[in-house]
């Protein structure tokens, strides 16, 4: 699973707001938008001249105040591409009459696909200068009584100016780029007072002034990682300063030895009807994109295959995989390429497919590698997250068919052998919200990666991996989907516990090796709240509450309440979901999620970093693991020290960080890859072997 990140406190406020009002709107078969249109048809809004009714745009009072209080010549405001896009889309949704001249499709501003964007060295700079109108309760009542024109002029309504600037692409894959300024990237619903833009690239040269005309500005970054970009909007009343970040993943693009695609026929077919009435990509053909780089000797003779895990948004491509493993300051594979290993990156075309379908793709890739490599060196496979399950199935199936895979080492990197964990209340949220609300509004409110998680929740691979897939009718809160056990039973039936028998199986984990990292308990305990919000809605106020589950007590994990306005309508509780279990997987050692759940109580923040792949799952622990203590205090160092018949893991060796910290799931950074290479005899520090002579 890729990182899940909620970018700001505002995001969670907004998400809570949308969730609540839309539940209220969706109590019958009418869609949310139909309900909104019905409500709007009752209002006289002719006095709104800027065409944007902020009451529809899901802005809470805190966010409204942020823009109300935005004044020239103040300290900088941080902005990023995701928040800018979120603001753009919400303002466009607040239009009383949709106008694509003002708000074109967002993809037209940034590019149509992740593949095109990562290959592009042009970074657009987006500017929002949009005015919206906010009606108070009395004005809404008058509009409902058709007295708007009689009692109000445009000056009577509050108008809020939304001003923001940001780079619209945050990751680049080369040092030399061009920043794009264009009138098409200045989004305004009235004449804008922005006269020019000043940009400081944090290169010591200070700000340079640019006119808002079509132009490309050349820049060369001198440092890897995050580089601050300061954007100053100049107006007659002063300047407005915004700061964005561009993450330079690598200084230059490496020329691949080869790129190709592989497709195969599926062996598993999805018959599940989803909440939106469709099936999940039943027409998709299993496939992968593959890129080969050469090691120091310039010969494809020592393949090192890096298998992608789950890609929630299907937005991680070969460029990103290559940069994560070979670019940046870490240069994870540098010690391997220095000894002639040739990285082979595998990017799933549909990581949401059944695991066994992608296993057929992996088999085809392995065969292609073995047919095209030079010499007799064995293949090393590093399989991240779900990729480990795919690799187990593929290699074991090849062995059963007497096919030579020529793999010497299978390294499962933080793989959910016994399942992956998401806090039950967060997943249950998906099942309690009407599907039209989920698809049309909730996904807009959440951070992109959380929205991607909800989109992927019903997909085959999610059903096969999530320990607490949740409250689909007849399955129950916190339960597994039947596909979870069906897959593992079939994998085990392949023999040897579902592991390849002719290679060395190794685990690299992101969790604390000795379970000593208990820092989550500094801020949270079992049963604690992880999300709380009180937010205003369109004629409604809403409360929304999510807790991590308590131990052996039937307590609330999810609650949604709505207060109607005016108060003559009663307050009513829509949903309260309780859950009772003797274990809580959120607090276990393991590879943690990147999610930052904001506890919105008195505007204080706490970060809830739960275990996404618990250690017992990552090492496929076969010992006792039914109690909270057994799972929470699992010492992998002790497990790893036992050899012979008493060993409680199928892995020949387990590797992890020496500082015993829980680190982000599936991140290869700051893990002992060099130490693994030395211990396993893969790295000898002998330097690069000479290229073999050409064959006669």
Confidence tier at 692 by pLDDT (50, 70, 90): low
pLDDT value at position 114?
67
Instruction: List pLDDT tens digits, range 441-496.
Output: 556 656 677 778 888 888 999 999 999 998 776 678 999 999 999 999 999 999 99
CA dihedral 654, 657, 659, 664 (to 10 degrees): -120
Report how many helices (DSSP H) and strands (DSSP E) the chain contains, helices first. Answer: 22, 25
User: From residue 635, how far is each of 509, 519, 656 by CA, in Å?
Assistant: 13, 16, 12
Instruction: Render 623-685 in DSSP notation, one character per residue.
Output: S--SSHHHHHT--HHHHHH--GGG--SS-SEEE--TT----BTT--TTS-HHHHHHHTTS--S
The structure tokens listed for 349 are: 């075309």
Can you tell me which residue has the tokens 């026929």? 265
Q: Binning pLDDT at 50, 70 and 90, where does residue 499 land?
A: very high
Residue 143: both structure tokens together? 């509009």
Contact residues for 666 (Cβ-Cβ < 8 A; gap 6+): 1, 2, 309, 384, 385, 413, 414, 510, 591, 613
According to the model, what pLDDT value does residue 12 have?
36
Q: Report pLDDT for 563.
A: 63
Instruction: Specify which of 119-123, 471-475, 555-559 reaches the highest per-range mean pLDDT.
Output: 555-559
Burial status of residue 337 (CB atoms within 10 A of its CB: 0-12, 13-18, 19 or more): buried
pLDDT tens profile 568-596: 444 555 789 999 999 999 999 999 985 54
Q: What is the mean pLDDT of residues 549-557?
A: 96
Q: Strand 287-292 vs strand 303-307: parallel, antiparallel, or unpaired?
A: unpaired
Instruction: Name the band, by pLDDT with cuts 50, 70 and 90, for residue 287.
Output: very high
Which of 280-284, 324-328, 329-333, 342-346 comes out lowest in average pLDDT?
280-284
**Exposed / middle / buried, residue 168 (Cβ in 10 Å: 0-12, 13-18, 19+):** buried
Confidence of residue 30 (pLDDT cuts 50, 70, 90): low
Highest-confidence range of 270-279, 414-423, 462-471, by mean pLDDT? 414-423
DSSP state of 257: S
Tokens of 210: 């640019």
Alpha helices (H) in 564-622, listed in sequence order: 615-618
Lowest mean pLDDT among 111-115, 122-126, 469-473, 493-497: 111-115
Phi–psi pair at 590, nearest 5 degrees: 160, 180
pLDDT category at 544 given cuts 50, 70, 90 is: confident
pLDDT score at 421: 97
Report yes or no: 124 and 168 within 8 Å, Cβ to Cβ. yes
Beta-strand pair 287-292/379-384: unpaired
DSSP of 96-117, one letter per residue? SS--TTTS--THHHH-S-HHHH
% residues pLDDT > 70 (the chain) = 83
Q: Is the pLDDT of residue 18 over 60?
A: no
Backbone angles phi, psi at 688, to 5 degrees: -80, 125
Q: What is the pLDDT of residues 375-403, one digit of tens each?
A: 999 999 999 999 999 999 999 999 999 99
Per-residue model confidence as pLDDT tens digits over 322-340: 999 998 777 899 999 999 9
Residue 539 reports pLDDT greater than 90: no
Cα–Cα distance, 228 to 250 (Å, whole number): 16
Residue boundaries of the structural domains of the chain: 48-248
Residue 436 has pLDDT above 80, yes or no: no
3-state secondary structure at position 580: coil
Query: Full-prediction pTM beyond 0.85?
Result: yes
Q: Give the pLDDT of residue 471.
A: 76
Is 604 a residue whose pLDDT tops 70? no
Q: Do β-strands 238-248 and 171-172 pair in parallel, antiparallel, or remain unpaired?
A: parallel
Host H or E run for residue 448: helix 448-456
Model pLDDT for residues 217-230, shown as the tens digit of each residue: 999 999 999 999 99
On the question of pLDDT at 130 being above 80, the answer is: yes
pLDDT at 126: 97
- What percent of the chain clears pLDDT 90, i.e. is strictly above it? 63
Range with the lowest mean pLDDT among 35-44, 490-499, 534-543, 608-617?
534-543
DSSP three-state, residue 645: helix
- What pLDDT digit, counting tens, does each position of 33-81 carry? 676 777 788 888 888 888 999 988 777 777 888 999 999 998 889 999 9
Rounded CA-CA distance 119/117 in Å is 5
């Amino acid at each position: 699973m890729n990182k899940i990140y909620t970018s700001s406190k505002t995001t969670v406020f907004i998400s809570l707001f949308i969730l609540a009002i839309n539940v209220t709107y969706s109590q019958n078969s009418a869609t949310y938008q139909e309900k909104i249109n019905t409500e709007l048809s009752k209002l006289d809004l002719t006095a709104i001249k800027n065409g944007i009714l902020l009451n529809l745009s899901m802005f809470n009072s805190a966010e409204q105040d942020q823009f109300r209080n935005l004044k020239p010549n103040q300290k900088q405001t941080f902005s990023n591409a995701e928040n800018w896009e979120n603001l753009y889309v919400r303002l466009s949704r607040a239009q009383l009459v949709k106008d694509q001249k003002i708000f074109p499709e967002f993809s037209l501003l940034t590019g149509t696909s992740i593949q095109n964007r990562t290959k592009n060295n042009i970074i657009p700079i987006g500017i929002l200068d949009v005015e919206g109108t906010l009606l108070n309760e009395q004005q809404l009542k008058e509009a409902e009584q058709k007295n708007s024109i009689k009692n109000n002029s445009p000056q009577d309504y509050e108008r809020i100016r939304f001003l923001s600037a940001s780079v619209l692409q945050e990751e680049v894959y080369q040092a030399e780029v061009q920043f794009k300024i264009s009138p098409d990237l200045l989004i305004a619903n009235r004449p804008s007072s922005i006269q020019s833009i000043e940009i400081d690239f944090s290169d010591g040269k200070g700000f340079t002034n640019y006119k808002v005309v079509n132009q490309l500005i050349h820049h060369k970054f001198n440092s890897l990682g995050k580089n601050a970009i300061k954007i100053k909007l100049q107006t007659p009343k002063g300047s407005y300063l915004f700061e964005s970040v561009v993450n330079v993943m690598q200084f230059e693009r490496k020329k691949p030895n080869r790129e190709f695609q592989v497709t195969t026929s599926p062996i598993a077919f999805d018959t599940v009807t989803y909440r939106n009435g469709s099936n999940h990509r039943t027409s998709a053909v299993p496939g992968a994109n593959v890129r080969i780089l050469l090691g120091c000797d310039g010969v494809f003779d020592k393949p090192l295959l890096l298998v992608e895990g789950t890609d929630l948004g299907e937005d991680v491509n070969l460029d990103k995989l290559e940069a994560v493993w070979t670019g940046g300051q870490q240069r994870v594979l540098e010690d391997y390429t220095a000894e002639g290993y040739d990285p082979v990156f595998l990017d799933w075309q549909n990581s949401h497919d059944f695991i066994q379908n992608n296993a057929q793709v992996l088999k085809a890739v392995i065969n292609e590698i073995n047919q095209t490599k030079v010499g007799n060196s064995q293949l090393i496979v590093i399989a991240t997250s779900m990729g480990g399950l795919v690799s187990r199935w593929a290699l074991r199936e090849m062995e059963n068919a007497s096919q030579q895979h020529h793999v010497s080492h299978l390294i499962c990197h933080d793989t959910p052998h016994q399942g992956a964990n998401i806090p039950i209340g967060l997943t249950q949220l998906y099942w309690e919200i009407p599907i039209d609300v989920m698809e049309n509004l909730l996904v807009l409110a959440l951070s992109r990666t959380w929205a991607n998680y909800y989109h992927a929740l019903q997909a085959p691979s999610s059903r096969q991996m999530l320990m607490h897939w949740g409250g689909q009718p007849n399955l129950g809160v916190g339960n597994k989907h039947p596909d979870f056990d069906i897959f593992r039973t079939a994998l085990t039936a392949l023999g040897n516990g579902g592991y390849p028998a002719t290679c060395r199986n190794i685990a690299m984990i992101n969790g604390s090796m000795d379970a000593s990292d208990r820092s989550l308990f500094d801020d949270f305990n079992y049963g604690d709240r992880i999300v709380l919000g009180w937010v205003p809605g369109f004629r409604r106020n809403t409360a929304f509450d999510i807790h991590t589950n308590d131990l052996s007590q039937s307590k609330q994990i999810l609650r949604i309440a709505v207060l109607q306005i005016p108060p003559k309508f009663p307050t009513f509780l829509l949903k309260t979901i309780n859950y009772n279990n003797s274990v809580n997987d959120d607090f276990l050692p393991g590879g943690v999620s990147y999610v930052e759940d904001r506890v919105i109580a008195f505007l204080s923040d706490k970060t809830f970093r739960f275990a996404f792949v618990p250690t017992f799952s990552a090492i496929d622990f076969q010992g006792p693991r039914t109690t909270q203590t057994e799972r929470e205090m699992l010492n992998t160092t002790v497990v790893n020290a036992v050899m012979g018949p008493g060993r409680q893991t199928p892995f020949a060796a387990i590797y992890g960080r020496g500082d015993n910290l829980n680190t982000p799931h599936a991140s290869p950074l700051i893990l002992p890859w060099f130490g693994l290479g030395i211990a396993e005899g893969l790295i000898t520090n002998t330097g690069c072997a000479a290229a073999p002579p050409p064959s006669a």
